[in-house]
Amino acid sequence: MQIHDHFVELIASGEWESGKLLESENELARKLAVSVGTVRKALDVLEAGHLVSRRQGRGTTVNDQSSDEFNIHFSNLRIGDGQRVTGTISSVDVEEAEADANEQRQLKLKKGDTVFRCVRVREYHGRRFMFERLAITKKLLPDLDEAQFSIARVVAIAAKRNGILLGTGTEKVCVNTADPEVSKALSIAPGTPLLRLDRVINMMDGMPLEWRVADCHLQEKYYMTDFV
């Protein structure tokens, strides 16, 4: 884990930039004065966290956490044969505010901390299907401004700029019905049953960074999980 954390630091600091082909396991082991097995295990953990990709005969490369391939693993929405989908953003509304009680609890903030609040609509193949409300800890992303929220994966991109690495997340799923605001945004009848996705994404140190509550009109899409 010491070696792992060292590697995380190298990635977060930008010393290991995304796309870079790392030195071989043997070289890393020699430079860090540990066994290759130890380097291997650290890289295994990094790979499990989607931070690097490894291929026999080729080497180990650093993944870009602002890329779509990285971020799509935070979506359990799927289509057709099981491919994950996120859609694209079709409308945005941003404000900056003091965190309310819920935001303080979800993002582990103190009274008086500020958040970005963002309301967005996502569409897929030209059809609006998701109404999402985001709350993002502002102090961790000081260079983030309201103009940027129209692009997908803002948080991941801003996190990368600020040397923050995304880690785990949890999502609660339940059923909700369209209130007037949502029904208008998605052009569906009020009261339409929707899938509500309540998701928190944490940083690698375990602290939450983004809280999203999304109401989702599934249409041909479905939510899927695996049991192991």
Q: Which is nearer to its own copies, 62 or 195 (CB)?
A: 195
Q: Which of 18, 38, 104, 176 binds DNA (CB under 7 A)?
A: 38
Length of the chain, in residues: 228
26: contact with DNA by CB under 7 A: yes
Q: Which is nearer to DNA, 54 or 108 (CB)?
A: 54
E strand residue ranges, 178-207: 193-203
58: contact with DNA by CB under 7 A: yes
Q: Which residues on adjacent β-strands are paired with residue 131? A: 121, 215
31: contact with DNA by CB under 7 A: no
Residue range at the interface with its own copies (CB under 8 A); choices 8-16, 92-100, 119-127, 216-224? 216-224
Q: Which residues on adjacent β-strands are paired with residue 18? A: none
CB 66 within 8 A of CB 50: no
Q: How far is CA 126 from CA 65, 88, 99, 140, in A?
A: 26, 9, 33, 34
55: contact with DNA by CB under 7 A: yes
CB 110 within 8 A of CB 99: no
Residue range at the interface with its own copies (CB under 8 A); choices 15-23, 59-67, 113-121, 163-171? 163-171
- Can you tell me the distance from the alpha carbon of 138 to that of 210, in angstroms, rounded to the nearest whole number? 10
**Binding residues vs its own copies (CB under 8 A):** 48-49, 73-74, 76, 168-177, 193-195, 201, 218, 222-228
**Binding residues vs DNA (CB under 7 A):** 1-2, 22-27, 29, 33-38, 40-41, 43, 54-60
